[in-house]
């Protein structure tokens, strides 16, 4: 039976100063994207670590993390994705995916493998094949492969991401892909596009959950304008990477914050 997490419930603990966290309870539903924001050192990574460890008041923050499921889940309900990806085993992409699919008991590993490779290649500028060795993949290709793997093969229903903006992949499409497959996604980020596209954003200060915000109509308009700029930036980067002459103009989009 497929593991199904309905929600995560995080009960607040204390800040670095020992005071109660302003946000004392946070419930996150399946398919929801939560952006974890705040200055460097504000406690974003600590929060993700608490969730990864399923803390029971036994970490410095004294938070408690409860995972509600609709059926009995196995041990691995959480997947983590970081900026640094290093494979320690040398095999082809196809063999790696077949091995993982078989370990998950999937009936048609070959079909799933091709779908994973297809999805991964939608996230990167330079596509790769199943007969390439995973140790030869670039950092962006490796991360794209793991995101597609998490979406289609891994039964981990919770995905924790610590910074993805410089990962060399289409970060917005990657997040939408994970949410579409019912994953709960928490991502620590400084990227305004990621922050504004999230369903909610959790503001961290002094090691504590300080504020929980819903996007406003004005922020949605700001996101729409930023997406236009990001598309133009992506086109410019693609032209420069391909050695083309740049003949496009970057239009000025007025964004007031």
Q: For position 207, which CATH number holds?
A: 3.40.50.300
pLDDT of residue 231: 80
pLDDT of residue 83: 63
DSSP state of 114: H
The residue out of 112, 138, 155 marking a domain boundary is 155
Q: Do 3 and 70 fall into the same domain?
A: yes
Q: Which residue has the tokens 């999805």?
A: 119
Q: Do 136 and 181 fall into the same domain?
A: no
pLDDT of residue 133: 93
pLDDT of residue 257: 45
CA distances from 232 to 169, 249, 253 (A): 16, 9, 11
Q: Do 162 and 249 fall into the same domain?
A: no
| Residue numbers of the domain that contains 61 | 1-77+156-215
Q: Do 61 and 129 fall into the same domain?
A: no
Q: Do 47 and 171 fall into the same domain?
A: yes
212: exposed, middle or buried (C-beta count within 10 Å: 0-12, 13-18, 19+)?
Answer: middle
* Nearest residue to 21 via CA among 53, 51, 64, 52: 64
Q: Do 246 and 139 fall into the same domain?
A: no
Total tally of structural domains belonging to the chain = 3
Q: Do 47 and 21 fall into the same domain?
A: yes
The residue out of 110, 139, 155 marking a domain boundary is 155
For 120-178, the three-class secondary structure string (H helix, E strand, C coil) is HHCCCCCCCCCCCEHHHCCHHHHHHHHHHHHHHCCCCCEEEEECCCCCCCCHHHHHHHH
| Residue 137 · residue 145 · CB < 8 Å | yes
* Gap between the Cα atoms of 9 and 244, Å rounded: 50
The pTM for the full model equals 0.81
Task: Going from the first residue of the chain to its last (257 residues), give the mean pLDDT of each consecutive group of 10, the final group possibly shorter.
Answer: 74 96 94 94 94 94 90 69 71 92 83 91 88 89 88 85 70 83 90 92 96 94 89 77 69 48
Q: Do 163 and 63 fall into the same domain?
A: yes
Q: Do 139 and 70 fall into the same domain?
A: no
Q: Do 210 and 220 fall into the same domain?
A: no
Q: Do 6 and 118 fall into the same domain?
A: no
């Amino acid at each position: 039976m497929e593991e199904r997490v309905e929600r995560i419930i995080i009960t607040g603990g204390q800040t670095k100063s020992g005071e109660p966290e302003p946000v004392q309870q946070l419930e996150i539903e399946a398919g929801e994207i939560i952006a974890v924001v705040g200055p460097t050192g504000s406690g974003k990574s600590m929060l993700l670590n608490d969730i990864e460890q399923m803390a029971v008041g036994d970490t410095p923050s004294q938070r408690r993390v409860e995972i509600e499921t609709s059926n009995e889940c196995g041990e691995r309900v959480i997947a983590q994705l970081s900026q640094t990806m290093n494979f320690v085993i040398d095999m082809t992409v196809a063999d790696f995916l077949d091995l993982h699919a078989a370990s998950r008991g999937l009936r048609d590993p070959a079909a799933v493998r091709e779908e994973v490779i297809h999805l991964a290649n939608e996230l990167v500028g330079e596509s790769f094949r199943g007969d390439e060795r995973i140790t030869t993949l670039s950092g962006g290709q490796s991360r794209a492969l793991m995101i597609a793997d998490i979406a289609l093969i891994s039964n981990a229903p919770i995905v924790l991401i610590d910074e993805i903006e410089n990962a060399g992949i289409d970060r917005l499409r990657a997040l939408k892909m994970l949410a579409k497959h019912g994953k709960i996604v928490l991502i620590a980020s400084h990227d305004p596009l990621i922050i504004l596209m999230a369903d909610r954003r959790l503001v961290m200060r002094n090691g504590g959950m300080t504020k929980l915000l819903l996007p406003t109509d004005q922020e949605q308009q700001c996101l729409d304008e930023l997406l236009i700029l990001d598309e133009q930036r992506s086109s410019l980067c693609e032209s420069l990477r391909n050695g083309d002459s740049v003949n496009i103009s970057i239009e000025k989009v007025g964004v007031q914050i």
